[in-house]
Amino acid sequence: MSRLAIQEKILKIKALRKAIKLLKKQTTPTKNFVSFKNVLEVANSSKHSKHFKKNISRSSILQPTTEEFKKINNKIKKNIKNHKNTKSAQPNKLNKNLKKLESQLDEATIRIVELLDNEILLKETITSNQIRIARLQQERDDYENKYNTMKIKNEYRT
């Protein structure tokens, strides 16, 4: 293999690795940008592609023959697999968190209902006590009036 072919191969590998890094950064939990097609597109449009005689072919990544391309193929496959695992694990984790929050909400609702019942009972107690106080004050006033009238009558008698 000539020196030029080796340098082109090294540049292609660098372009592929940079493409994978770039696409990993763009990947979100819901969308994976690292795919064979996207990696090839980004690598073939990179600054290194100016030095290629031919663009990186799809078959060189899908069915690699050299060790370096096999490693890149494995990286892409591993990334796709990891993303699928995290994507499928997220709903499970979210469901667990959701169930936990629902149980906390149920407990909080029960506690709120208990507190509202206590509030109603306390308001009823306060109302009945206020009525009782008003009745007792009225009785006191009545007794005071009777006492005063009796006192006045006794003053006239003496």
Residue 139 is predicted with a pLDDT of: 96
Q: Residue range 58-74: average pLDDT?
A: 87
What average pLDDT does the structure give for the chain?
87
Res. 94: pLDDT tops 80 = no
Per mean pLDDT, which of 33-47, 67-81, 114-128 is the most reliable? 114-128
In sign, the C-alpha dihedral spanning 75, 80, 83, 85 is: negative
Long-range Cβ contacts of 50-54 (<8 Å, 24+ apart): 51/7, 51/8, 51/11, 52/8, 52/11, 52/12, 53/8
pLDDT of residue 106: 93
Say how far apart CA 112 and CA 106 lie, in whole Å: 10
**pLDDT tens-digit map of 105-130:** 999 999 999 999 999 999 999 999 99
Binning pLDDT at 50, 70 and 90, where does residue 143 land? very high
Q: What mean pLDDT is predicted for residues 58-66?
A: 85
Residue 1: its pLDDT value, please? 46
Q: What is the pLDDT of residue 62?
A: 84
pLDDT of residue 107: 96
Distance CA 8, CA 12 (A): 6
Banded pLDDT at 20 (limits 50, 70, 90)? very high
Q: What is the pLDDT of residue 147?
A: 92
Confidence (pTM)? 0.54
